[in-house]
Structure 1
Amino acid sequence: MTQPAYDVVAIGNAIVDILSPATDAFVADNGMTKGAMALVFSPEDADALYAKMGPGQEVSGGSAANTIAGMAALGGNCAFIGQVADDQLGDVFAHDIRAAGIRFDTEARPGSPTTGRCMIFVTPDGQRTMNTFLGASHYLPEAALDRALIADAQFLYLEGYLWDPEEPRAAMRAAIDVARAAGRKVAFTLSAEFVIDRHRDAFHELIDARLIDVLFANEAEIVSLTQAADTEAAIAAVKDKVPLVVVTLSEAGACAVAGDRRVRVPAAPVDKVVDTTGAGDLFAAGFLHGQARGWDLERSLKLGALCAAEIISHFGARPLADMKALAARV
């Protein structure tokens, strides 16, 4: 097997995050569930909610794209596959991800719908309430896959959020086949409980077929996937089918389970939680960065915890600190 040129190639939603401060009352008055993510299905509803937002920040986002951006900032060689539209937000997304040193070759899609956007309302306690209009990202076709690129990456990283629509789901299944045929590893993040509720059987099919090498989840997600009584029982239900299970435990840190081996690290300290957007994404970035370099589980987990702490200390899901210096602390 040849040495791969890329650490990770990711497939995910290509969206632009729009972050704005909001009060708890605003979130409640507009029918949102604080701290949750809801899908906005129509362009009209997306425009109406956007009109209510106060001044904010626009930055390229998407779960897997955030992870790849974190890895690139750490010094990794990464690529991203995701669908944008041929519009202004699509140009913003493409510019941002390429400026971060990430290979992005997916051609923009002409016509409607527009490029996806996630309207994020951040309350004073740092909780983010997300309203996502997925737009063009849900029209990623299998034809957009660069199979040679996928085969040339140590890890293929997939986000559960993109499993919903038929076209991207078929593309990701095809990408898994390419990665497995090339002897590469497949990492999968469950993304959210509502995603698991829709696709629990399909996710179990992937796991039972031994197609997932690294599974990322938080406590609620791993319990939802397995419908077990608690986190420990949930991990036990999948650990013999997935070589590496990585579970974030919020303020209690994170753990990695490889067969009968378990490693746990505490959460990295942070002076003030400003915005929890992207915490799991950047944790995955740190962990995968370590694994791509042959680090042991403890060291990889520690870097993941440091990356998560960095991201929750400021607005936005893209790192602001010197991430290479952060990695050097581990």
Structure 2
Amino acid sequence: MLTPVAIMTVDRFPRHNTGAMVKEIKEFVFDDAAIIAGCLSQWGVSTGMIGTAVGDDPRGHALARQLEDLGVQADVRFTKAYATPLEVDVSDRRGARTYFWQRTPEMLATLDEADLSLMEGARLMYVDWYDGEEHITRAMEEAKRLDVPVFLNLEFGHKDVNLLKRYAKYTTICQAVTDAAQLGKNKSLMQTARKLLNAGIKTALITMAKEGCLVAQGSEIVRVFAPKVKAVDACGAGATFSAGFAYGTLQGWGIEHSARFATAAASLKVTRAGLEMFPIDEIHAVAERLKVEYLTFRDNQFHRLGKLISVQQKVIVHESRKLVRHAADSLNSKKRASQKSAAKRK
């Protein structure tokens, strides 16, 4: 799905039939696949986007220009059948977001006619389950034919065992979530990971919001704990995690390195509104200090092997917070310098 988005931050949501002052507005290209393409492009990875058609209107043409400005290859198709959709996301001061979107069967059906030639020579294809099985299977089948690994964002879709089974035959990396896992409940976390592995998926990613993530590949499992940060805007955090793990995979990293990087990238992202990514070196600085727990998968059971903690936990949390603040301050300084430079030129 391709759609422009306006991300607004407010202190708190207003009561019904009243208003609220908006603190900040950021505009970007959505949905998750477009976010990931944009993230990876900002990190120097060549990316392409195969998406739904957009309206042949100013908003649709502006979206195409945004993708081009991001360095994302895309043959954006324009249609007169409908207007370009718009998503509006509102984040409160705790980082929680409420979204309003347009996603009609007519829009999603345009995926069925999308040109898949961009997949030739690709090293990885990301696809979202919520675009609909009837629309994404064609691309997954083509990826399998071309021997391109598929990264599927399945979210809560794993609850449908038959759907999981159908997707598993195409999928190399699968990202999933459960409400219980996001609350840090290990039983749900382990059950979901085991379900994905038993379905035949090579790499299972279970995201847990502020609790971090678990990544399982074969008998190797790592649990990465996220740093404590001040959340401003959680919109796009899951997609940023996906982009981070995809980046690590494309670099040939192991699952621990990739999971650390993905967790750090997503944690930094929520500290500010919008989808401008932090530099790779700043993400690495946070990633290398995260607490990691090791497990193994044997006899259809998970076994805890121990924890790797480079320094005491209090120091890890303290240093992670310092690095997050430093990264944010660094970006703000660069922005102020850029604004002063622009003012001088004027």
Distance 1:79 1:53, change over 3 A: farther
Q: CA deviation at 1:247?
A: 1.1
Equivalent-residue separation in structure 1 for 2:75 and 2:119 (angstroms): 13
Q: Is residue 2:281 matched to residue 1:325? A: yes
The gaps in structure 1 that reach 5 residues or longer are 1-12, 31-50, 164-168
Q: Secondary structure at the match of 2:33?
A: helix
Q: CA deviation at 1:110?
A: 2.0
Q: CA deviation at 1:200?
A: 6.1
What residue in structure 2 maps to residue 296 of structure 1? 254
Q: Is residue 2:33 matched to residue 1:72? A: no
Q: Is residue 2:193 matched to residue 1:235? A: yes
Q: Secondary structure at the match of 2:223?
A: strand
Q: Counterparts in 2 of 1:68-107, with a 5 A limit?
A: 68-83=37-52, 84-107=54-77
Q: 2:5–2:28: 8 Å Cα contact kept in structure 1? A: yes
Q: CA deviation at 1:172?
A: 1.8
Distance 1:144 1:222, change over 3 A: farther
Per-residue deviation, residues 174-229 of structure 1 (Å, max 9, x unmatched): 111111111111110024x4x677x764343222xx22110012233989xxxx97
What residue in structure 2 maps to residue 250 of structure 1? 209
Equivalent-residue separation in structure 2 for 1:280 and 1:233 (angstroms): 20
Per-residue deviation, residues 17-72 of structure 1 (Å, max 9, x unmatched): 1122346453x637xxxxxxxxxxxxxxxxxxxx9995733222211111111111
What residue in structure 2 maps to residue 40 of structure 1? none
Equivalent-residue separation in structure 2 for 1:251 and 1:222 (angstroms): 11
What residue in structure 2 maps to residue 21 of structure 1? 9
Identity %: 19
Q: How many residues align?
A: 278
Q: Is residue 2:246 matched to residue 1:277? A: no
What residue in structure 2 maps to residue 173 of structure 1? 137
RMSD in angstroms over aligned alpha carbons?
Answer: 2.7
Q: Is residue 2:147 matched to residue 1:189? A: no
What residue in structure 1 maps to residue 89 of structure 2? 120
Q: 1:75–1:324: 8 Å Cα contact kept in structure 2? A: no
The gaps in structure 2 that reach 5 residues or longer are 289-346
Equivalent-residue separation in structure 2 for 1:132 and 1:196 (angstroms): 23
Equivalent-residue separation in structure 1 for 2:273 and 2:134 (angstroms): 34
Q: 1:15–1:137: 8 Å Cα contact kept in structure 2? A: no
When Rg is computed on C-alpha atoms for both structures, the one with the higher figure is: 2
Per-residue deviation, residues 106-145 of structure 1 (Å, max 9, x unmatched): 3212231x22221112112111111111257423232212
Equivalent-residue separation in structure 2 for 1:131 and 1:120 (angstroms): 6
Q: 2:12–2:20: 8 Å Cα contact kept in structure 1? A: no
Higher relative contact order (CA 8 A, sep 6+): 1
Q: 1:151–1:178: 8 Å Cα contact kept in structure 2? A: no
Equivalent-residue separation in structure 1 for 2:205 and 2:77 (angstroms): 33
Equivalent-residue separation in structure 2 for 1:319 and 1:56 (angstroms): 13
Q: 2:173–2:205: 8 Å Cα contact kept in structure 1? A: yes
Distance 1:175 1:139, change over 3 A: same
Equivalent-residue separation in structure 1 for 2:243 and 2:107 (angstroms): 21
Equivalent-residue separation in structure 2 for 1:327 and 1:280 (angstroms): 16
